[in-house]
Structure 1
Amino acid sequence: MSTPGSSGRTSPPTERVVQILNFLADHPDQRFGVSELARRLGLSKPTCLGIVTALADAGYVLRDDVDKTYRLGPALIRLGHRTQESLRVSPGARDELSRLSARFGATAALSGVIDDRITLIELVAPPGARSGVEVGQSYPFAPPIGLMFVLWDDEALREWLSKEPTLPLRTKTARLHRVIETCRTAGYLVERLTPGGRRLYALMAGMSTELPDELRALLGELVSDIGERVYLRDEATPDGSHDISVISAPVFDHHRRQVMVVSLHIGKALTDNEITERAQALMTTADAITEQLGGGVPKRTGP
């Protein structure tokens, strides 16, 4: 069970540890005894007991002494914080996302490209909302997935376009250039909400770029052109509202190169004024996170 991008070498004992931690992470509100864990994961009971005992000793899981069940432990919090620090994400980034999420009642997220995978680094959702995505979730970083992560960086854009596409594409160069120019001028990207787009990201989560031919063909029916889901203001519909999936803005490092993306997940129809209001607030958030990184925002030519 090698992970995307791995060398193919695996360690079955390590995989069993990962299997248990991932299972507990997928059921954060539940506790499991050794027998149930072993049964649900297809492990022997002695093996499972040995793993959870070692994890409990290290604080990565907690054992309830009364009913002898296990759940995730506090030591993982430290690992999560250290991971974010290594990715140059400060605690202040979550505060910025929280303010953005609260203002519009929508999920705000921070993502970046890590080891050639698009990875969700931080996320804040409104109380009680189900975002449909989780921190740590990753996607292949190859056309047509990932335009927003290279849109503001010429070198990164060229490298991305040179990658083997995740699925067959019919790239319209003129359209792509128009998208790039418009989004760079405005400082943000607006992606339209389409049934194909929703299905695409659901299918692609956690997958490798090396997809089976059958799946590539299916995905090719959903998205066939880079930037085709990008909404441009001069493409307004007669009723003045537009089904929007997500609005994104770039975060820059001290070289003024794009390193991450802040996104506001919409999932409903918005007017042009509502899009602009959210986009301006999103850019303010992205600029604040850029400042936290010690980065610099390139000069924008738009309003």
Structure 2
Amino acid sequence: MAILDFLAKHPQERFGLSELARRLHLAKPTCLGIVTTLTESGYLVRDAADKTYRLGPSLIGLGHLAQESLRVNPAARAELAQLSKTFDTTAALAAVVDDRITLLELVEPPGADVGVRVGQSYPFAPPVGLMFVLWDDGALSSWLDRAPTIPLRTETRRLDRVIAECRTAGYLVERLTPGGRRLYAMMAGMSSTLPDELRALLGELISDIGERVYLASEAAGTRQRHNVSVISAPVYDHHHRQVMVVSLQIGRALTDAEIAKHARGLVTAADTLTKQLGGAKPRW
């Protein structure tokens, strides 16, 4: 697993046996046995000329099967690609899998690199994960009952307003705050027990669950631009339950009109993905 994970983090590079063993702190004979078996199974490809290894074609089939098992329709990527092209930004599909937020699909503009990859996961506890429970009363209640990743205050009136307005609008807009761009990259793969340094950073970024949420009603008439981190919309199953989230990674300032335009396109894509699942929106 260490070998596969390492090569997945360097998909455009090739590594020889000695370098793999050194980088991963493996005995060379042990490493040789592993890469030989992985190559015979098609999970790695060995270049006969320079004797280097890279990821192999058998992983493609596994990846597709894993996505299908998580109900990610192959056509979902086309929806994300259209979103990414329309708004020239990264579009992503994510869900809570085995009690962790997991990135299921991702489409970036040409040449972009947001620093995350499909399959990465993050702790799922307040304040991280509001977008995954906002449209489901039961899930929201369970999430709020979890031990938070950092000490939080919850301003109930503000949170109630966020819930009501986001459910009416059909989307959630999170503001971009200092350090926010690095947050998920730092949390990728971490357990819910976070290092003290990261807990301190989170504490600086977020002290209330709903404070980073942009609400159009609060911005009405201000004529200002808003630093937006991400815009998200829910995907539902046939039980009218929120099961996934489709998002646009913004990372820049937008006007109210631009936020609304992005949100309309996003909600349309989320509705299409809901139909692909045979799902339907709940009635609030």
State the distance in 2 between where 1:37 and 1:45 align: 9
Give the match for residue 18 of structure 2: 35
**RMSD (Å) for aligned C-alpha atoms:** 1.3
TM-superposed deviation, 1:200: 3.0
TM-score by length of 1: 0.90
The SS at the match of 1:71 is: strand
Please show how residues 61-140 of structure 1 align to structure 2 within 5 Å. Answer: 61-140=44-123
TM-superposed deviation, 1:213: 4.6
CA contact (8 A) 1:61 1:74 kept: yes
2:278 counterpart (294, 297, 303): 294
Change (3 A) 1:175 1:196: farther
User: Structure 1: any 5+ residue segments left out of the alignment?
Assistant: 1-17
The SS at the match of 1:66 is: coil
TM-superposed deviation, 1:244: 0.6
Please show how residues 1-303 of structure 1 align to structure 2 within 5 Å. Answer: 18-213=1-196, 215-236=198-219, 238-299=222-283
Cα shift readout 1:137-180 (whole Å, capped 9, x = no counterpart): 11110000000000000000000000001100011111100000
State the distance in 2 between where 1:214 and 1:224 align: 16
Cα shift readout 1:62-87 (whole Å, capped 9, x = no counterpart): 01111111100000000000000000
TM-superposed deviation, 1:214: 5.3
State the distance in 2 between where 1:82 and 1:198 align: 31
User: Structure 2: any 5+ residue segments left out of the alignment?
Assistant: none
TM-superposed deviation, 1:211: 2.4
Aligned-pair identity in percent equals 71
Cα shift readout 1:242-269 (whole Å, capped 9, x = no counterpart): 1111100000000000000000011111
TM-superposed deviation, 1:215: 4.0
TM-superposed deviation, 1:233: 1.2
The SS at the match of 1:91 is: coil
Equivalenced residues, count? 283
The SS at the match of 1:195 is: coil
The SS at the match of 2:65 is: helix
State the distance in 1 between where 2:210 and 2:179 align: 13
Counterpart code for 2:281: V
Give the match for residue 11 of structure 1: none
